[in-house]
Structure formats: C-alpha cells, structure tokens
Structure 1
Amino acid sequence: MSFWDERYDRADYVFGEGPNAFLAANAGRLQGYRTALAVADGEGRNGVFLAEQGLDVLSIDASPVGLIKANELARKRGVRLTTHCLDIAGYDWPVAQFDVVAAIFIQFAAPALRAAMFAGMVQTLTPGGLLLLQGYRPEQLAHGTGGPSQVENMYTEALLREQFAGLQIISLESYDTELTEGTAHAGLSAVIDLVARKPD
C-alpha cells in the first residue's frame, strides 16, 4: 500500500470533510463556469465542494483509497463526482478542457514535477478559465503544522509569477493564518494564494 493509501485508510477524513477555506472564499468567482478539475484531490473535500457549486468535476489522485472516500463524500452530500486514479507524472493534460482548475496543497511535487504540473494546469484551462491555487511558503517549516519537509517544494510569489506568467494574475497573497483542516493541517500556517485567469 502506498504512502497516501496508508494515510487515507481510516474512518475519518485526514484533511476534514469541509472545503479548503481559500477555495470556499472564492466560490463567488465560479459563477458562469461549467467544468472543473480538482488536482491531487485526495479524499475529495475540494472536488465535492466544486460539485456543490454546480460544476461538472473531475477529481484526480494517485490514491484509490482516497478516491473511494471522495465518492462516498459526494454521495453523502448529494452531488456527483467523476474520479480518475492516476500517477500525475504521467497525466496527459487535455488541452482547453476545464473552466476551473483547483490545486490545493499539492506540494508532494519536487521542482521538476511541479513545473510539469503547472504547465499542464495552464494547458488544460479553457480560454477565460480560472486557476485557484493555495500552498505553503518556506516559512511553513518553522511552524511545523502541515505540509512537506522539503523547502524546495514550497511556493514563493516570485516562483508563482514566473511559472504562471502566461495567466492574468487576479490575486497573489502571502500571509499566516490558522488552518483547521482535519488533523493534518492544523495550526498557524504560512500560506500563499493565487487566483489567475487564462486570457481569452
């Protein structure tokens, strides 16, 4: 069993059942969009939230255990979720397929894979589509309240501006906040948020 399968193989939800606070705070931006991709969606809390907003959602993750729980959460909430279990390193990002891409704490990716994932997310957005991304900054290592232990996996504003230079940045913010997302993301955290739009 993989690391993530082992982590998700429990009755409760590691990161909670509710959506990420940043994603929920941007719900108003989702009006008028039809399709969404939830990247590395784990147990499905964010994909389910997007489906609750009326979007047709594809939730992708490498853990079959996580995606089983994602489907269970969707049924519990009365929404439909399409799931696809895959190794994201080999994902063939479809061109201009999704109106919204949500990438919430996907920092398992080392720099080379991260660059490929970021390029894929831009590629798969439709013209006018919206990217919603949240991650940890390097300062998170001092907090120790979640996330990877590798500083190179963290995000900075300069990194995100460079990697998403082809998008129109609507909002890019760095701040510390109290996270209450299950047992895995709990306590004062150094985060960075990006809201960006693909040009028409």
Structure 2
Amino acid sequence: MWEERYSNPGYVFGTEPALFLTDHAEIYQPGQTALCVADGEGRNSVWLAQRGLDVTALEYAPSAVAKARRLAQSQGVSLTHVQSDVFAWDWPEGGFDHVVAIFIQFVGPSPRADLFRRMKRAVKPGGLVSLHGYTPKQLEYGTGGPSAVENLYTEAGLQTAFQSWQIEVLRSHERHLEEGPGHSGMSALIDLVARRPGPG
C-alpha cells in the first residue's frame, strides 16, 4: 500500500516540514543525532539535517526513500537513509538524542505499543521522543490520516504510554494544514514531547 501511495511523481505530503517541527524548532540543535521513524518522502528528516543534526531516516517504501534522497540532494544536505520495516530493523540501544515520529498512525494498539518500546529504547538517557499525529476527532474532518479510530492518539493514551518519562509537551489542538494532498484542511492534532529519564 505504501509503495503504491508514494510511487507517483509528486510529494504526497509536500516538501516542507511538519508544522509540529517548526513549532518546536528550539529543541533540535546542531550536532545532535535524530532518528525519523517512517519518514516517508523526507520532508522532516531533510529539515532536521538543514538545522545541523546528524539524521537517520527510517522508511519502508523504496519509492519514498528515492524521493527523500532526491529532496536531500536538492537541499544540499546529507543524511543516512535506512530502507526497512520498522518492526524488522535492529533499533540501536540509546543511539539518538531525538526520535521523531510524525504521522506514523499505521498500526493499532498492540503493534503500536511494540513500536513505542522500540522508539523509547533508541533514545539516549535525557533524550527526547517527539510524536505528532491525529486525535479521534480527525475522523470528522477526513482531511488525512487513517480511518481506523484505534490508530489515533488521545492525551490519556499517550500519558499512559510515556508515564515513566518526563512529559514536556502534551496537547490536543486543531489547525488548518496544507501539507501536500495527503494533509489538506482543518485537522484535529496532538503533540507529544517526552524526555527519557537519565542525564541529559
């Protein structure tokens, strides 16, 4: 499904970063390491690389990886692209200052718990997980995201998933998105920034 979606010549979600990243730009500092989970066509990983981070982009669909590489080249930045299923990749223990997951709502509760465990394990002590996605109200708007309500995030669910972490941002909000044809219109969103316990 994802390969079919990304195989068209255009960028499904555009080439500009998610507004979540620009909203929280101050937390992403030059010289830090970042992993972008299910990074798609590269708009977010390229933006982080432009800010001077050492970025690894993890993505399954070959056509998306190809477009991400072209985008990085056009912007004059270099980063590491890993083509792999998120559940097949050998996630490094404590390998990154940031794990960034933007609109990764392609799995239900059980596999999502496994994915979150992998993401949390990959963050250095004192590092951050940044998560951005849709709430169940998004089903009323129909302007992007999955149609399965169980794939969507709630504040209570994320609070529970990261209960042993220091939650620095957790908020639901609505705003108009224009992020390519994939995200277009009024949207019901949720943001999470959570810090792994330990020295930073």
Q: TM-score, normalised by structure 2?
A: 0.96
* SS class of match (2:87): helix
- Deviation sequence 1:80-130 (CA, Å, 0-9, x none): 021111111222221100101110000001111110111111110001111
Aligned length: 198
Cα deviation 1:154-198 (Å, max 9, x = unaligned)? 000010011111221001000111011000100011110001111
Give the 3 Å change call, closer, same or farther, for CA 121–133 of structure 1 in structure 2: same
C-alpha contact 1:97 1:125 (8 A) present in aligned 2:
yes
Q: Which amino acid aligns with 1:154?
A: L
TM-score (norm: length of structure 1): 0.96
Percent identity, please.
51
Shift of the alpha carbon at 1:33?
5.2
Alignment partners' CA distance in 1, 2:114 and 2:157 = 14
Q: Give distance in 1, aligned partners of 2:137 and 2:31.
A: 34
Matched residue, 1:113:
111
CA shift, 1:28, in A, is: 0.8
Q: Secondary structure at the match of 1:88?
A: coil
Question: Which residue among 162, 168, 171 is the counterpart of 2:169?
Answer: 171
Letter in 1 for 2:16: G
Q: Distance in 2 between matches of 1:33 and 1:122?
A: 20
Whole-Å separation in 2 of the counterparts to 1:123 and 1:196:
13
1:30 CA drift (Å): 1.4
Indicate if the aligned counterparts of 2:46 and 2:71 stay in contact, CA closer than 8 A: yes
Report what 1:186 is aligned to: 184
1:35 is aligned to 33
Match of 1:54? 52
Contact 2:30 2:51 in 1 (8 A): no
State the 4+ residue runs in structure 1 displaced beyond 6 angstroms.
none
Distance 1:43 1:118 in 2: 22
RMSD over aligned CA atoms reads 1.0
SS at match of 1:84: strand
